[in-house]
């Protein structure tokens, strides 16, 4: 199975569980229902959510075509990915997922879902620090170190026209 097919398969499970199933449970447990009308908060939520989804999808495609792997820790990219959204952030996929969740929290006006977003980002941060960064340092050595120096973990340091060196 090609890298793109594997990436889509694994991303479907990730998105389905962490970004659809669990948030739906949070909304159900908190008693939040779909808004009766579409107003400014719902439009803002749709825009933020769509931006996050597009960013996450761009990351999945970049992992498959540039990295020749997937976002899944058990099937990682074979090459260090510094192109596409990774030119500006080291973790744009988590940012995209967080924005998609934030969009849902805005759409539903749900404090419980907003708390889920915060928890998701805290867990992602812990995973990045405890597993991803040490693993990438071990696999890609000086190239990853240079990438870290040039590219922010969660926020762009500066916009550049070419991939990190």
DSSP letters along 1-23, please?
A: --HHHHHHHHHHHHIIIIIIIHH
Q: Does residue 162 register a pLDDT over 70?
A: no
Predicted confidence (pLDDT) per residue in 95-107, tens digit: 999 999 999 999 9
Q: Which residue in this structure is represented by tokens 């192109």?
A: 83
Instruction: Report the distance separating Cα 9 and Cα 141, nearest Å.
Output: 29
In this prediction, residue 149 carries a pLDDT of 93
pLDDT tier for residue 1 given thresholds of 50, 70 and 90: low
Instruction: Report the distance separating Cα 99 and Cα 95, nearest Å.
Output: 6
In this prediction, residue 77 carries a pLDDT of 83
Whether this prediction's pTM lies above 0.95 is answered by no
Computed over every residue of the chain, the mean pLDDT equals: 90
Q: What is the arithmetic mean of pLDDT over 90-118?
A: 96
Predicted confidence (pLDDT) per residue in 52-78, tens digit: 999 999 998 998 889 887 777 777 788
Instruction: Report the distance separating Cα 67 and Cα 2, nearest Å.
Output: 12
Residue among 75, 96, 56, 53 at smallest CA distance from 67: 75
């Amino acid at each position: 199975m090609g890298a793109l097919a594997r990436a889509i398969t694994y991303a479907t499970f990730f998105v389905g569980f962490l970004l659809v199933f669990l948030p739906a449970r949070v909304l159900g447990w908190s008693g939040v229902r779909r808004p009766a009308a579409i107003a400014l908060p719902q439009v803002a939520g749709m825009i933020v959510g769509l931006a996050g989804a597009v960013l996450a999808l761009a990351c999945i495609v970049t992992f498959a075509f540039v990295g020749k792997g997937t976002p899944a820790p058990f099937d990682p990219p074979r090459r260090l990915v510094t192109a596409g959204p990774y030119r500006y952030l080291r973790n744009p996929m988590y940012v995209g997922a967080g924005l998609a969740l934030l969009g849902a929290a805005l759409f539903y006006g749900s404090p419980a879902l907003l708390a889920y977003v915060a928890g998701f980002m805290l867990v992602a941060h812990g995973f990045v620090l405890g597993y991803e960064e040490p693993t990438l340092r071990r696999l890609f050595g000086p190239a990853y170190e240079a990438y870290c120096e040039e590219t922010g973990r969660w926020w762009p340091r500066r916009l550049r026209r070419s991939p990190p060196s």
